[in-house]
Amino acid sequence: MSELTKLTLTGALEGLENGDFSAVELTQAFVDTIEASNQALNAYVVTTSDQALSMAADSDARRSAGKAGRLDGAPLGIKDLYCTKGVRTTACSNILGEFTPTYESTVTQNLWDEGAVMLGKLNMDEFAMGSSNETSRFGPPSNPWRRGSGNATLTAGGSSGGSATAVAADLCLAATASDTGGSIRQPAAFTGTVGIKPTYGRASRYGMVAFASSLDQAGPIAKTVTDAALLTEIMCSHDAKDSTSLNVETPDWLSHVDKGVKGMKIGVPKEYRVEGMPQEIEDLWQKGIEWLKAMGAEIVDVSLPHTKYALPAYYIVAPAEASSNLARYDGMRYGARVDGENLTGTYEGTRAGGFGAEVQRRLMIGTYVLSSGYYDAYYLRAQKVRTRILQDFETVYADVDALLTPTCPSAAFAYGEKTDDPVQMYLNDIFTVTANLAGLPGISVPAGVDNDGLPLGLQVIGKALDEATCFQVAGAIEEAAGFVAKPSKWW
């Protein structure tokens, strides 16, 4: 049975359509695998096995009635950031207690409308704040990958560490994730999976627990570029319930994956060659360039001069928005509450007890940068930087179709290696935050392994609303890299 869990999403959908197996059989295989593996991997923080099997049974009925949707019978994992009706949703924070929404996020609703099956809720950094998933109230997941040279437990990255772990360890066909500064792409890179953050506004934020509203964007983590394209197509939609949702058609991205890069111009930004970056990553990047050249693309050296300001700007804008977005967690209407002697005491007790250290750090930074007297120097300046970063991209996109960069400056690291120093941790996002600040689509595709056998990802950043090119370039890299490595099972 466990062979079923190794299928890709598209492969499984084919099998279902061909009648090779039923949705119930497929779902049961995942339920069994999760039961056997989750204790070691800690990918799921809620499992919904009964619901999954009943959804699967409904799916089989639909399929035999000839009414199957595009994802019918496909068991998926859902990041705990998405509100799911009747299923506990906490964004892995203590402050949400046992909060169980009475409503469904638009993105997950889109999946259920196409017949997908929910296996459970996936681990993440608390409120998506983190790059290693260590800030989760439920403890971090374990990356199924380990260094060839040792048995240290590695991070699967963050904040979508649970999603990446579940996909890499075959605990779901694919998973939803979300990306505010790299939270889809970095975990994908750390686990040998594919992750895409679409253009800001492509997918609705309705029902996604907010971190930083102007940066948050839904996207999938999947096993292949094709799977990612299919899932992204279904997750994205115009939604009147989200004012920042773009009123645009969702294109047929699936057909772009195999189109190749012949005649394309791909930019290589020199600012992404940072000091201290491991040679292996440098080499992989070069390899990517060679592959694209060999497939008929033209490589152009480009410059994005404001890149070095992106990370500081990000760590002002994101905490600022978070400090306001998270004000609603006050213990008054839902979630955990710690009663104090008076109102202020209750607020302080609730929020000090409910939020972890990293969230508290960011709320304090955010509150500080929005304070009167500091607003202009921090928040306003950061917004100006943001405009410059967008202009940088617009300038180079006059000349190139997409950009190729490494996804991260390192491979997966071991727990505890970076937690002591928040700035070291923040540097993880250095190649990914720019796409969030500029609202552009970015995809991470596994392209090779480092000397320790750990997966490394390359990132393709596209023009606004041009996910098609991202899928096209990523598809070409996937083909050229022939990345087939899987983690050897230790769990």
Instruction: Say how far apart CA 154 and CA 147 lie, in whole Å.
Output: 8
Least distance to other proteins from the beta carbon of 484, Å?
Answer: 38
Least distance to other proteins from the beta carbon of 361, Å?
Answer: 17
Least distance to other proteins from the beta carbon of 206, Å?
Answer: 6
Decide: is 333 part of the binding site for other proteins (CB under 8 A).
yes
> Active site residue: 136, 159, 245, 323, which one?
159
Least distance to other proteins from the beta carbon of 98, Å?
Answer: 13
Q: Contacting other proteins (CB under 8 A), which of 8, 49, 153, 324?
A: 324
Residue 79 a catalytic site member: yes
Cβ closest to other proteins, residue 89 vs residue 444: 89
Cβ closest to other proteins, residue 61 vs residue 327: 327
Decide: is 54 part of the binding site for other proteins (CB under 8 A).
no
Site string for other proteins, 239-258 (x = CB under 8 A): -xxxxx--------------
Say how many residues touch other proteins, by CB under 8 A. Answer: 43
Residue 159 a catalytic site member: yes
Q: Contacting other proteins (CB under 8 A), which of 375, 387, 489, 491?
A: 375
Decide: is 439 part of the binding site for other proteins (CB under 8 A).
no
Least distance to other proteins from the beta carbon of 208, Å?
Answer: 5
Cβ closest to other proteins, residue 55 vs residue 382: 382
Decide: is 328 part of the binding site for other proteins (CB under 8 A).
yes
> Active site residue: 79, 197, 223, 463, which one?
79
Least distance to other proteins from the beta carbon of 138, Å?
Answer: 17
Rg (CA), the chain: 21
Decide: is 145 part of the binding site for other proteins (CB under 8 A).
no
Least distance to other proteins from the beta carbon of 124, Å?
Answer: 14
Cβ closest to other proteins, residue 63 vs residue 386: 386
Decide: is 321 part of the binding site for other proteins (CB under 8 A).
yes
Taking contact as CB under 8 A, which single stretch among the options 18-26, 96-104, 117-125, 422-430 is the one that binds other proteins? 96-104
Residues from 347 through 366 that contact other proteins (CB under 8 A): 347
Residue 308 a catalytic site member: no
Least distance to other proteins from the beta carbon of 241, Å?
Answer: 6
Residues from 167 through 226 that contact other proteins (CB under 8 A): 205-210, 212-214
Site string for other proteins, 69-88 (x = CB under 8 A): -------------xx-----
Instruction: Say how far apart CA 172 and CA 31 lie, in whole Å.
Output: 9
Query: 3-class secondary structure for the chain?
Result: CHHHHCCCHHHHHHHHHHCCCCHHHHHHHHHHHHHHHHHHHCCEEEECHHHHHHHHHHHHHHHHCCCCCCCCCCEEEEECCECECCECCCCCCHHHCCCCCCCCCHHHHHHHHCCCEEEEEECCCHHHCCCCCCCCCCCCCCCCCCCCCCCCCECCCCCCHHHHHHHHCCCCCEEEEEECCCCCHHHHHHHCCEEEECCCCCCCCCCECCCCCCCCEEEEEECCHHHHHHHHHHHCCCCCCCCCCCCCCCCCCHHHCCCCCCCCEEEEEHHHCCCCCCHHHHHHHHHHHHHHHHCCCEEEEECCCCHHHHHHHHHHHHHHHHHHHHHHCCCCCCCCCCCCCCHHHHHHHHHHHHCCHHHHHHHHHHHHHHCCCCCHHHHHHHHHHHHHHHHHHHHHHCCCCEEEEECCCCCCCECCCCCCCHHHHHHHHCCCHHHHHHCCCEEEEEEEECCCCCEEEEEEEECCCCHHHHHHHHHHHHHHHCCCCCCCCCC
Cβ closest to other proteins, residue 112 vs residue 347: 347
Give residues with Cβ within 8 angstroms of 337, minimum separation 6. 97, 331, 346, 350
Could you list the residues that contact other proteins (CB under 8 A)? 82-83, 89, 91, 96, 99, 101-103, 105, 205-210, 212-214, 240-244, 320-321, 323-324, 326-328, 330, 332-334, 343, 347, 367, 370-372, 375, 379
Q: Catalytic site residues?
A: 79, 159, 183
